[in-house]
Structure formats: structure tokens, C-alpha cells
Amino acid sequence: MHKIFIRSFVSSLVFLFTLTVAAVAKDVKAAFVYIGPTGDHGWTYQHDVGRKAVEAAGFKTTYVEGVPESADAERVLRQLANSGHDVIFTTSFGYMNPTNKVAKEFPNVKFEHATGYKREHPNVSTYAARFYEGRAILGTIAGTMTKSNVIGYVASFPIPEVIRGINSFTLAAQKVNPNIKTKIVWAFTWYDPGKESEAAKALIDQGADIIAQHTDSTAIVQIAEKAGVYAFGQASDMDKFAPKAVLTSVENNWGPYYVERVKAVANGTWSQKDTWHGIGDGMVVISDLDSAMPSDLQAKVKKLQADLASGKVHAFTGPIYDQKGDLMVAAGKTADDGMLAGMMTYVKGVEGDIPK
């Protein structure tokens, strides 16, 4: 009798406990702060796809779009922290200092900052994707598919993230075609269809027959479609905007990470982390390959994708030389994350200088 009582007491306790955990889990609210409009079909659009995955997992979400990186960011963050959100994702580099400032005032709210490096308080995590792995795949395709051996590249800002992408792309292209040259046009914007179009046109005029981009709009692939050259989609699968031109896209896939982190908040297992995921963890996804690509190239790309995912191949494997011919990475070595994070020199084969 006694035992039965204890057992039922314990089981009901367990039952109650699971009930509260379930109730808490349901109550967790996540907020997302975006730099652009959710309809940009690029950076912000993909973060919003990730947010929808969190909704689909049964959590409530809120978002604020078009938040400038000026003094306004801090107010938006404080308001979100103040209005019952348990975890806040700040999805642009410029939110780094406001994120850490507001995190200090709200120790019970978790903050997740994309692409930054400051984690000044235990409730701040950072996350980013190894997009350069995707760019190694684009470089392989571009080096094989080009006929003019001139590849155009529309870049946004001269920061390590972008330089790293240009280098990874060029190294991969050289591996399959030592004669290629990468021509860069700096658009000095992340999202401006007008400026991006001008940049793409200028590159096509200079003989580029493939255009890669590190800006977010669909303007470039549409220009490429009209001009009859190839292009690659950025951030989301841009095939539907230029079915002939787009060979493949590198997709930013934030959903799995967002769901995992929100669930961790719900379970009380969230802890500070610095995440840098690539193809292997599914944060970087390669879209379907276009049928214009010959089947042996398709097979090669699939293999490279698998090797990058497993870690068998690293996008920055030596010997790597800079533009002046100085050795950057010795033969057989790979670049470490510290070098990748601060990369501000072009590799050999990239034309022009980094704007200073």
C-alpha cells in the first residue's frame, strides 16, 4: 500500500513535471530582427524562411524588418526583450554592439547574433555559415563552364567574409582551369538592384561569360539571363528568376539552427556558443544543378560537395599564393579559422586591388 502510494506519488510528480516542461516549451517566444525587407529574396528572405521553420516547430515568433544599424537597433532590441521574448536573433553584423549592450540589461533573455564576434555576456551567442564552401563549388562550376576564361564577380563590401568568398571561388576555379581570371566590381551595397545591374553589365562588357555575386537581389541573374551568360543564385534558389542563366544557387539554410536553439531555450539547455556551420551541418545548401552542366561536371560537383561536407576536402588547402606571389598557406596545410576570419588579401588570379 505504502509502496503503491509512493510510486503513484512519484509518477504523478513526473507527470506534473513533464506537463510544466511542455507548457514552458510552448510559451517560448522567439524574435527576429532583419536588416532588409522580408521580400528581398536574399539575406533577409532566408532568415525569414528560418523563422517560419521555428513557427512550424510550434513556437511563437515575432519579427521586425528594415531595422537600420543606427541608434534605432538598440531600441528595437530593448522593446523585444521587454515584451516577453525569450530569445532574439539579430541577423546583421551592424547589430553587434547594440546586441551586447541590451543583453547586459536582460540576462534572462538569450541573444543570437549572426556574423559577429563579440560575446561579452553569457547570454550572447554568435553564429555564421561557411559560405566559402559553397563558393568553392561555384568556382569549380565556373572554371569548367567558362569559354572566355573571364569570370565576373559582383562584390558588396571589402570585409573578410566577402574576400574569403572571392578567394575560395577563384582557388576552386583555378584548380579545374588554371587560365581563368576573376574580375571584381565592388557595388558597395548588400541590396540595390540598380547598382547590382550596372555592375553585372560592366562585367559582361569586359568579356565575363559567368557572373557570380555576393549581393542579395535577383537583378544580376536577370541581367545574365538577358545577356545570355551564366550566373549563380545568392542566398536563396534564384532559378525561377532566370531559369537559363542560373546554374545553381548557394542557399543560406538557417532553419535547422534556429529550431535547435529555440528548442534549447525551451528545454533550459541553451548555453553560449560560437557556431560556424557549413555544408556538412546543412547551413549551406547547394540548389539543384542546371541541366546545361555536363554530367561529368555534375558528378564532380556532387563529389566535392560530399568531400567538403565530410571534411575530406578543405576549400583553402595549400599551396596558396597571394597576388604578389607570396606564400599564404603551405603545401598540404589548410587555412585555420583565425586566418579565414581575418582574410583581407586576394589570392593569385584575382584581378585588381581591394578597395582601401
Partner 1 sequence: MIKIVKRDQPSRAIFFLTPILAIFLTLVAGGLIFYIIGFKPFEALKFFFIVPIADMYGFSELLLKATPLCLIAIGLSFCFKSNNWNIGAEGQLTFGAIVSGGVALIFYEQEGFYILPIVILAGAIGGMLYASIPAILKTYFNTNEILVSLMLVYVSKLILDYLVVGPWSNPEGFNFPETRQFSDSARLPILFEGLRIHAGIFLALAAVVASWFIFYKTYLGFQMKVSGFSLKTAKYAGYKGKKMIILVFLISGACAGLAGVGEITGPIGQLHREVSPDYGFTAIIVAFLGRLHPIGIIFASLIVAITYLGAETAQIFMQIPKYTGQVFQGMILFFLLASDYLLFFKIKFTGLKK
Q: Does 62 bind partner 1 (CB under 8 A)?
A: yes
Choosing from 2, 3, 147, 356, the residue that interacts with partner 1 (CB under 8 A) is 356
Question: Given the complex with partner 1, which of 66 and 228 has the nearer CB atom?
Answer: 66
The residues near 243 (Cβ < 8 Å, ≥ 6 apart) are 225
For strand 60-64 and strand 181-186, is the pairing parallel, antiparallel, or unpaired? unpaired
* Stretch of 62-70, 122-130, 229-237, 251-259 lying at the interface with partner 1 (CB under 8 A): 62-70
Per rule CB under 8 A, is residue 355 in the interface with partner 1?
yes
Q: From CA 217, how far away is CA 206, in angstroms rounded?
A: 22
Q: What is the DSSP letter of 289?
A: P
Site for partner 1 in 89-108 (CB under 8 A): 93-94, 97
Q: Which is nearer to partner 1, 4 or 71 (CB)?
A: 71
Pairing, β 87-90 against β 60-64:
unpaired
276 sits near partner 1 (criterion: CB under 8 A): no
Binding mask 335-354 for partner 1 (x = CB under 8 A): ------xx-x----------
CB of 108 to partner 1, least distance (A): 17
Q: Is residue 72 within the footprint of partner 1 (CB under 8 A)?
A: yes
Residues paired with 110 in a beta bridge = 87
For position 194 contacting partner 1 by CB under 8 A, the verdict is no
Q: 75 and 87 in contact (C-beta within 8 Å)?
A: no
Cα radius of gyration rounded to whole Å, the chain: 23
Q: Counting contacts by CB under 8 A, is residue 32 touching partner 1?
A: no
For residue 155, the SS3 value is strand
CB of 71 to partner 1, least distance (A): 4
Out of 7, 26, 52, 75, the only residue in the binding site for partner 1 (CB under 8 A) is 75
- Of 152-160, 219-227, 231-239, 291-299, which part binds partner 1 (CB under 8 A)? 152-160
Site size for partner 1, by CB under 8 A? 34
Rounded to an integer, what distance in angstroms lies between the CA atom of residue 80 and that of residue 29? 10
The end-to-end CA distance of the chain, in Å, is 82
CB-based burial, 251-272: b 16+ in 10 Å, e otherwise: bbbbbebbbebbbbbbeeebee
The yes or no reply on residue 37 touching partner 1 (CB under 8 A) is yes
Q: Are 236 and 248 in contact (CB under 8 A)?
A: no
Q: Which residues bind partner 1 (CB under 8 A)?
A: 31, 37, 62-72, 74-76, 78-80, 83, 93-94, 97, 117, 157-160, 188, 341-342, 344, 355-356
